[in-house]
Amino acid sequence: AEFISIQAFPALLDLPQDVEVSAVSCGSRHTAVVTRGGELYTWGWGKYGQLGHRDNSSSDQARRVEHLVAEGLRAEEVVCGPWTTYVRVLE
12-65 pLDDT per residue, tens: 778 888 899 999 999 989 999 999 999 999 999 999 999 999 999 998 889 999
| Residue 5 pLDDT class (50, 70, 90 cuts) | low
- Mean per-residue pLDDT for 61-85? 96
Every domain of the chain and the residues it spans: 21-90
Neighbours of 39 (CB within 10 A): 19
- Mean per-residue pLDDT for 81-91? 95
| Measured distance CA(18)–CA(6) in Å, rounded | 27
Cα-based distances in Å from 70 to 20, 59, 67, 73, 91:
21, 21, 5, 8, 11
| Residue 6 pLDDT class (50, 70, 90 cuts) | low
User: Measured in whole angstroms, how far is the alpha carbon of residue 17 from the centre of its chain?
Assistant: 17
Neighbours of 38 (CB within 10 A): 15
